[in-house]
């Protein structure tokens, strides 16, 4: 019988190494050992991803490594996630989110990392991609009954779209919390424009999302 | 009152010859903006050679800056290799974007054709149209020859390419090779049509940024192709280059030093690379930069003037010469008065 600490360590390692096969194997071992799947996700897979995020901030790793790590994370998630949803606590079924980069913006690498962290945290995420028009966000949020709408913009020209969209979303989507992010944005702008939350990076985005949905 | 003693063409000419002009030359780095100040839709800067040329000439005349018209775009590559693009027609759009990359999966890499007739590929008919206007007016003829990884990203899709850099490096190399073949064909065509001595070859290097890739990845996936393209372009007899090193690239600079260029090469930098660093790394070349495009859009004129003055004070006496320029393409809707502050700063603080 493998001990849980070792399995968690292997899950983290697999993500950090970007090794999909190792992630799959460690996830299967976690299941075999009867581990709490949510714990395996958060303290294993997500912990590894968090460490990669830290290394990125420090200039110790780069976007290709982050992307490959996220693929390994998804491989592990594919095994563990269904078990959590079935599990009695249902703790991980945290809500439904819609995400996209606003019209005029085709930068989507950061947005995709945010999407991944939200999925890890137990949200069902509908990704509208990039260059997304206001009405497409509204339609999708209504269709999937979104609890959370996440808007990404990387340019000073496109953050204006967020500013313009926000009052409309507030009026048309009263049951949906709105979180925004992207390099030119900050907490002050988010407050001024009436967003419910702001996240500086993907890890932060996940924390804020959970706070918004549980608060 | 101090008066300029040179025309813009004379000023740029002096700079290129390694002589001191009357004042620091200015290339504001406004492309789409030139269409807007002429009352044209933004898309005209990108989709119509005649109109793009006309707007750029009129804007230069109005502001009094020195850079001539050119045609280049950041997402180049995707359309030229058979994908789709959209010109900036919608409310928040700022530039041409790729809406479908020519490569969708691994198999596509092997079958991806290098366009036979470069004059018909993607934006090249427009670029060539503008080049012909440049030639007609006796201006330097500009051509976009990279940078190869930014082109490859636009062909593969940047995100897919990021994963392949680690998992399928051989696929990225195949695309980089095809892109390089294409760009060399472009340079050969321009040389034949306009004459090498008229040309200024342009690289826009965005996906090379250390926001995305490591210096090691730059060394493996960028440097050899830059060397190959530039060596060939030099062989053709081209004597002038313009290289925009976009965003955070401090860790790449030692590799940029190994890219063959001439003395008559403009190296332009974003806010992330300090001018003092650039001057030290490229003593012989012309340094350009690096007023923050965001403050040009967002801040007050006084702030733009202050930052432009600071740039001039640092780089004015650079051995290879200096051009005052924004750190990246200025957002099209930037207030014209803010754009003008760069010219004002050059006149007030940039006199030699
Ligand atoms: C890669 C890149 C490109 C690629 C995009 C590839 C792609 N598929 O995404 C290409 C080459 C195609 C490109 C094109 C252009 N780009 Co560009 N690009 C960049 C670059 C170098 C890196 C962006 C990036 O991926 N960063 C890495 C990721 C991991 O970080 P991130 O995106 O910030 O995301 C994190 C956080 O912001 C946050 N976050 C992000 N979204 C969200 C959402 C929510 C809800 C939350 C909570 C958090 C959150 O979490 C993320 C993960 O931690 C930046 C430089 C820079 N300094 O940012 C320029 C930059 C963004 N580009 C810029 C520009 C101007 C352009 C162009 C218009 C032309 C040009 N001159 O380059 C074109 C057209 C773009 C368009 N119409 O959208 C400018 C924007 C300037 C401005 N106006 O503000 C920048 C800043 C470059 C510069 N120095 O001037 N670009």
Boundary (domain end) residue, out of A69, A87, A105 = A87
The first and second tokens of residue A21, run together, are 């096969």
Instruction: Mutation target for A interface from B43, B92, B272, B335: give the one with most A CBs within 10 A.
Output: B92
Euclidean distance between CA atoms B189 and B198, whole angstroms: 13
Query: Phi and psi (nearest 5°) for A109?
Result: -65, -45
The predicted-structure confidence for A4-40, as pLDDT tens digits, reads as follows 999 999 999 999 999 999 999 999 999 999 999 989 9
Q: Do B163 and A109 count as a contact with CB atoms less than 8 A apart?
A: no
> Which pLDDT score, from 0 to 100, does residue A82 have?
85
Whether B245 contacts B268, CB under 8 Å: yes
The first and second tokens of residue A133, run together, are 């028009």
My answer on whether A122 and A79 are in the same domain is no
At CA B17, angle to CA B13 and CA B21, rounded to 5? Answer: 60
Say whether A100 sits in a helix, a strand or coil: strand
My answer on whether A71 and A99 are in the same domain is no
My answer on whether A12 and A101 are in the same domain is no
User: Per-residue pLDDT averaged across A160-173, rounded?
Assistant: 95
C-beta atoms surrounding B106 within 10 Å = 11
Task: Spell out a b/e string for A57-83, using b for 16 or more CB atoms within 10 Å of the CB, else e.
Answer: eeeebbbbbbbbbbbbbbbbbebbbeb
My answer on whether A120 and A55 are in the same domain is no
Query: Phi and psi (nearest 5°) for B46?
Result: -105, -30
Q: Do A157 and B163 count as a contact with CB atoms less than 8 A apart?
A: no
Q: How far apart are the first and last CA of chain A?
A: 39
A105 lines ligand 1 (CB under 6 A): yes
User: Please, where are the H alpha helices in chain B?
Assistant: 8-17, 32-37, 44-47, 49-63, 106-111, 124-136, 148-156, 158-167, 169-194, 215-221, 223-235, 253-256, 275-281, 293-298, 301-315, 336-349
The predicted-structure confidence for B3-22, as pLDDT tens digits, reads as follows 899 999 999 999 999 999 99
Say whether A177 sits in a helix, a strand or coil: strand
My answer on whether A203 and A125 are in the same domain is yes
Task: Spell out a b/e string for A22-40, using b for 16 or more CB atoms within 10 Å of the CB, else e.
Answer: bbbbbbebbeeeebbbbeb
My answer on whether A126 and A154 are in the same domain is yes
Determine the distance separating the centroid of ligand 1 and the alpha carbon of B224, expressed in angstroms.
Answer: 26
My answer on whether A51 and A72 are in the same domain is yes
Say whether A140 sits in a helix, a strand or coil: helix
Q: How many angstroms away from the CA of A95 is the closest CA of chain B?
A: 27
My answer on whether A130 and A51 are in the same domain is no
Euclidean distance between CA atoms A196 and A189, whole angstroms: 11
Q: Return the minimum-mean-pLDDT range out of A122-126, B127-131, B265-269.
A: A122-126
The predicted-structure confidence for B164-220, as pLDDT tens digits, reads as follows 999 999 999 999 999 999 999 999 999 999 999 999 999 999 999 999 999 999 999
Euclidean distance between CA atoms B129 and B44, whole angstroms: 13
| Beta bridge partner(s), residue B146 | B203
User: Per-residue pLDDT averaged across A62-78, rounded?
Assistant: 94
User: Per-residue pLDDT averaged across A155-166, rounded?
Assistant: 92
Instruction: Mutation target for B interface from A58, A157, A182, A188: give the one with most B CBs within 10 A.
Output: A157
The predicted-structure confidence for B271-330, as pLDDT tens digits, reads as follows 999 999 999 999 999 999 999 998 999 899 999 999 999 999 999 999 999 999 999 999
Query: Phi and psi (nearest 5°) for A124?
Result: -90, 120
CATH number for the domain that contains residue A21 = 1.10.1240.10
Q: Do A161 and B332 count as a contact with CB atoms less than 8 A apart?
A: no
The predicted-structure confidence for A115-145, as pLDDT tens digits, reads as follows 988 988 889 999 999 999 999 999 999 999 9
Atom of ligand 1 nearest to the CA of A154: 61
Task: Name the one residue in this structure whose structure tokens are 């949905």.
Answer: A213
Q: Please compute Rg for chain A using Cα positions.
A: 17
My answer on whether A111 and A26 are in the same domain is no
Whether A81 contacts A41, CB under 8 Å: yes
Boundary (domain end) residue, out of A33, A63, A87 = A87
Q: Count structural domains, chain A.
A: 2
The predicted-structure confidence for B138-175, as pLDDT tens digits, reads as follows 999 999 999 999 999 999 999 999 999 999 999 999 99
Q: Nearest by CB to B97, from A67, A106, A161: name it.
A: A106
Q: How many angstroms away from the CA of A76 is the closest CA of chain B?
A: 18
Determine the distance separating the centroid of ligand 1 and the alpha carbon of A155, expressed in angstroms.
Answer: 7
When pLDDT is cut at 50, 70 and 90, the band that residue A89 belongs to is very low
Whether A53 contacts A12, CB under 8 Å: no
Query: Phi and psi (nearest 5°) for B238?
Result: -70, 135
Q: Which residues contact B315 (CB under 8 A, 6 or more apart)?
A: B275, B276, B278, B279, B287, B289, B322
Atom of ligand 1 nearest to the CA of B271: 89
Q: Which protein residue has the closest C-alpha to ligand 1 atom 90?
A: B328
With 0-12 CB in 10 A as exposed, 13-18 as middle and 19+ as buried, what is B189? middle
Q: Which protein residue has the closest C-alpha to ligand 1 atom 68?
A: B95
Instruction: Mutation target for B interface from A156, A158, A162: give the one with most B CBs within 10 A.
Output: A156
> Which pLDDT score, from 0 to 100, does residue A86 have?
61
**Among A21, A136, A27, A130, residue whose Cα is nearest residue A84:** A27
Measured between CA atoms, the residue of chain B closest to residue A161 is B92
My answer on whether A105 and A207 are in the same domain is yes
Q: What percent of chain B has pLDDT over 90?
A: 96
The first and second tokens of residue A74, run together, are 């998804």
Determine the distance separating the centroid of ligand 1 and the alpha carbon of B197, expressed in angstroms.
Answer: 36
Euclidean distance between CA atoms B78 and B157, whole angstroms: 8
> Which pLDDT score, from 0 to 100, does residue A87 have?
54
Which class is domain B8-349? alpha beta
Residue range of the domain that includes A110: 95-214
> Which pLDDT score, from 0 to 100, does residue B1 have?
72
Task: Name the one residue in this structure whose structure tokens are 């294409």.
Answer: B182
> Which pLDDT score, from 0 to 100, does residue A60 have?
94
The first and second tokens of residue B131, run together, are 């080049």
The first and second tokens of residue B301, run together, are 């004129």
Residue B82's alpha-carbon distances to A84, B103, B244, in angstroms, are: 44, 9, 25
Boundary (domain end) residue, out of A68, A87, A106 = A87
Say whether A7 sits in a helix, a strand or coil: helix
Whether B58 contacts B80, CB under 8 Å: no
CATH number for the domain that contains residue A140 = 3.40.50.280
Question: Does residue B337 have a cis peptide bond before it, meaning omega lies within 30 degrees of 0?
Answer: no
Q: Is the CB of A78 inside 8 Å of chain B's CB atoms?
A: no
Provide the phi-psi class of A18: left if phi over 0, else alpha when psi is between -120 and 50, else beta. Answer: left
Say whether B202 sits in a helix, a strand or coil: strand
The first and second tokens of residue B316, run together, are 């004015």
């Amino acid at each position: 019988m493998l001990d849980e600490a070792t399995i968690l360590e292997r899950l983290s390692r697999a993500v950090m190494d970007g090794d999909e096969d190792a992630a799959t194997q460690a996830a299967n071992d976690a299941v075999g050992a009867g581990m709490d799947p949510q714990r395996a996700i958060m303290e294993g897979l997500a912990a590894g991803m968090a460490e990669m995020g830290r290394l990125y901030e420090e200039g110790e790793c780069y976007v290709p490594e982050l992307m490959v790590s996220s693929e390994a994370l998804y491989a592990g998630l594919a095994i563990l996630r269904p078990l959590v949803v079935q599990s009695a606590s249902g703790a991980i079924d945290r809500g439904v989110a819609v995400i996209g980069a606003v019209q005029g913006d085709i930068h989507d690498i950061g947005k995709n990392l945010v999407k991944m962290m939200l999925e890890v945290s137990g949200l069902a995420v509908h990704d509208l991609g990039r260059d997304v028009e206001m009405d497409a966000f509204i339609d999708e949020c209504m269709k999937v009954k979104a609890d959370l709408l996440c808007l990404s913009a990387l340019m000073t020209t496109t953050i204006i779209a967020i500013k313009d969209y926000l009052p409309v979303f507030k009026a048309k989507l009263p049951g949906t919390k709105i979180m925004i992010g992207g390099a030119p944005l900050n907490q002050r702008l988010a407050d001024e424009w009436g967003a419910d939350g702001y996240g500086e990076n993907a890890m932060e985005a996940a924390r804020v999302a959970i706070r918004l949905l549980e608060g | 009152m101090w008066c300029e003693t040179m025309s813009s063409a004379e000023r740029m000419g002096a700079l290129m010859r390694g002589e001191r002009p009357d004042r620091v030359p200015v290339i504001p780095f406004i492309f789409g903006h030139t269409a807007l100040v002429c009352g044209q839709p933004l898309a005209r800067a990108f989709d119509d050679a005649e109109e793009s040329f006309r707007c750029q000439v009129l804007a230069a005349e109005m502001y009094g800056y020195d850079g001539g018209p050119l045609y280049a775009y950041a997402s180049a590559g995707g359309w030229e290799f058979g994908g789709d693009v959209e010109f900036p027609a919608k409310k928040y759009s700022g530039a041409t974007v790729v809406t479908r990359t020519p490569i969708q999966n691994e198999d596509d890499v092997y079958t991806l054709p290098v366009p036979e007739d470069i004059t018909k590929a993607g934006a090249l008919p427009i670029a060539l149209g503008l080049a012909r206007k440049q030639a007609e007016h006796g201006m330097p003829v500009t051509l976009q020859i990279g940078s190869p990884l930014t082109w490859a990203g636009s062909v593969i899709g940047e995100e897919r390419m990021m994963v392949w850099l680690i998992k399928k490096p051989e696929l990225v190399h195949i695309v980089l090779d095809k892109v390089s073949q294409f760009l060399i064909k472009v340079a050969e065509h321009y040389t034949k049509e306009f004459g090498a001595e008229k040309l200024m070859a342009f690289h826009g290097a965005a996906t090379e940024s250390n926001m995305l890739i490591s210096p090691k990845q730059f060394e493996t996936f960028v440097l050899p192709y830059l060397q190959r393209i530039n060596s060939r372009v030099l062989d053709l007899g081209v004597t002038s280059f313009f290289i925009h090193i976009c965003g955070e690239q401090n860790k790449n600079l030692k590799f940029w030093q190994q890219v063959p260029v001439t003395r008559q090469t403009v190296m332009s930098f974003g806010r992330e690379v300090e001018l003092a660093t650039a001057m030290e790394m490229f003593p012989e070349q012309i340094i350009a930069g690096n007023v923050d495009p965001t403050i040009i859009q967002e801040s007050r004129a006084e702030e733009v003037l202050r930052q432009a003055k600071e740039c001039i004070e640092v780089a004015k006496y650079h051995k290879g010469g200096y051009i005052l320029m924004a750190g990246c393409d200025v957002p099209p809707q930037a207030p014209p008065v803010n754009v003008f502050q760069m010219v004002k700063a050059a006149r007030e603080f940039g006199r030699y």
